Chain A
Amino acid sequence: MANEPMLSQLMKEHGVSRRGFMKYCAGLASVMALSPALAPRIAHALENAPRPSVIWLSFQECTGCTESITRSHAPTLEDLIFKAVSLDYHHTLQAASGHAAEAAREEAMKANYGKYVLVVDGSIPLEQPGYSCIAGISNLEMLKQTAAGAAAIVSVGTCAAYGGIPHADPNPTGAVGVSHIIKDKPIINVPGCPPIPVVMTGVLAHFLTFGVPELDELGRPKVFFGETIHDRCYRRPFYDKGLFAEGFDDEGARKGWCLYKLGCKGPTTKSVCATVKWNNGTSFPIEAGHPCLGCTEPDFWDNGGFYKPLSVPAGDYRKIGLAALGAGAAIGAASALLSRASKKKAALAHETVDAHDLEKPS
């Protein structure tokens, strides 16, 4: 199925007019945060691009990212699977399991070696391979095997991008993201817990039309992670005027004032939540009255408490995360030792939080 001529032929077979196709491309341009004037170029690229094979690996994760992408509306996952890509392996979505599923993965790898797109969600444990295995193969081994023949890797979710929640203090499994292990392939990080559905499908669509997008210093596509949530937040005018909600039920909260003092991480979090929004463009956390948690940033789970304002010192968690990414610490035994040392340090610094703490005023 992979690498066959795609949309133009499929559209004709399904009775979709050129007008319908242009509507589809206008939607894609909007999702990819590109100028609407680029819709004809997207149409041209999609009509002429081959249909790539996609292998999707899920490691230490909660399946939230897959849950999220199946709710994408523009383009829908069905659109991507049946029209734009050939999803050859996804062990959560496919009917086959165990050795039959692994045989499908190996077949897809062999048939499309050097050309397929590898999508990964979930972190990889380095402490003990047995912490997370699929069909008896450790996550680390499966990632290395599958990455070897990939044209590019898309790390979906903060776990695959930076280790995410499994990486959080005290990181019992020695969890790391994909870029910590694979150094010789283009890697596109699409963080979020989970990422916005249309951002995930938009990145795949961008890869199909224009190749690997321009990335920021954390490996994220600039089209989706170029600005902070704060830059585009509809509550920003209240921040500028110094009007803040001080509690979840005070006058400021009722009037929709800025949530900065309630711990909003919007000013330091890059994502398109404020414009693309969630649930088919209905709303996003700040619009629902809750501060941004900063889930597209490394170590967001340990970054000083969700309800503490950014002005409160957050410790050295952020520095640790960035240093690890920048230095690209060695894998294998060295990483295991490093993670054990970090774990011990984190355990010493660990603070417990209960519901009472969340109610404390800032």
Chain B
Amino acid sequence: MSRYNRGNADNTAMDDLMSFAATGNALPLLHEVRHALAELLENNKTAVIDLGAIPFAPGDERVLDSILGEGEVHAVLKTLGESHVRETSIYGVWRVDHMDASGEYQSRFIEVTFLPEILKTHSTDAAAGLGTLTARLEEEDEKLKQRN
């Protein structure tokens, strides 16, 4: 169900009507996505499209949602507010929605990639993780020594 079809019985009809108002930008954007996906397969080149830079009406969102669909992966990042990283039913095409701590949208992207960069662990974070794990294991060793 489109996000614009929500609401109670009284305003469902209006929501449904409004959900068809469109700028006509959805289909050209989807063609851009198709070109980007072909480029990913041929030249291993990734692409990011900023949905905040394009005029979109509810009808465009409806077209985008219905053609891309929902895929197999939905990851939720919990840093500086939530981020939702979802693969669409078109493999290799991802929706990345960043929200702030109060749940307001900060930025929205379509990424054409095998795995969005933001899901990968950065080496500096991995180094910090190594330090944390080492410290925790040392604590455990200390506890074992005290027990013995």
Contact = CB atoms under 8 A, between A and B. Distances in A.
A237 B24 contact: yes
Nearest to B100: A73
A26 B79 CA distance: 13
B79 A30 contact: no
A26 B125 contact: no
B11 interface: no
Interface stretch (A16-24, A88-96, A341-349): A16-24
B73 interface: no
Contact of A23 (B77, B105, B121): B77
Contacts of B106: 23, 27, 30, 73-74
Nearest to A40: B117
B142 to A, nearest CB: 24
Given A20-B80, A275-B52, A281 B23 contact: no
Interface in B86-104: 96, 98, 100, 102, 104
B48 A232 contact: no
B79 A276 contact: no
Contacts of A305: none
Contacts of B100: 73-74, 76
A258 interface: no
A256 B79 contact: no
Interface in A288-325: none
B137 interface: no
Interface stretch (B1-9, B29-37, B54-62): B54-62
A236 B55 contact: yes
B109 interface: yes
A237 B23 CA distance: 7
Interface residues of A, number: 31
Given A19-B77, A22-B118, A234 B55 contact: yes
A233 B54 CA distance: 10
Interface residues of B, number: 31
A200 interface: no
A281 B53 CA distance: 12
A237 B57 CA distance: 12
Contact of A19 (B49, B107, B109, B118): B118
Given A18-B125, A74-B100, A26 B107 contact: yes
Nearest to A276: B52
A274 interface: yes
A281 B55 CA distance: 12
Interface string A150-180: 0000000000000000000000000000000
Contact of B98 (A18, A23, A233): A23
A275 B104 contact: no
A73 B50 contact: no
B98 A27 contact: yes
A17 B48 CA distance: 22
A234 B125 contact: no
Contacts of B109: 26, 30, 36
Interface string A270-288: 0000111000110000000
A41 B30 CA distance: 27
A19 B125 contact: yes
A33 interface: yes
A73 B104 contact: yes
B83 A256 contact: no
Nearest to A233: B55
A233 B21 CA distance: 13
A275 B53 contact: yes
B122 to A, nearest CB: 4
Contacts of B24: 237
A234 B52 CA distance: 13
In this complex, the member of A18, A29, A31 whose beta carbon has the largest number of chain B beta carbons within 10 angstroms is: A18
A75 to B, nearest CB: 9
Interface of A: 16-20, 22-24, 26-27, 29-31, 33, 35-37, 73-74, 76, 232-234, 236-237, 256, 274-276, 280-281
6 nearest A-B pairs in the assembled complex, by CB-CB distance? A20-B79, A18-B122, A36-B48, A30-B107, A280-B104, A27-B106
21 contacts: A16-B79, A17-B79, A17-B122, A19-B79, A19-B122, A20-B79, A23-B79, A23-B80, A23-B98, A23-B118, A24-B80, A26-B96, A26-B107, A30-B52, A30-B109, A74-B100, A234-B55, A234-B56, A237-B24, A275-B54, A276-B52
Interface of B: 21, 23-24, 48-50, 52-57, 77, 79-80, 83, 96, 98, 100, 102, 104-107, 109, 117-118, 121-122, 124-125
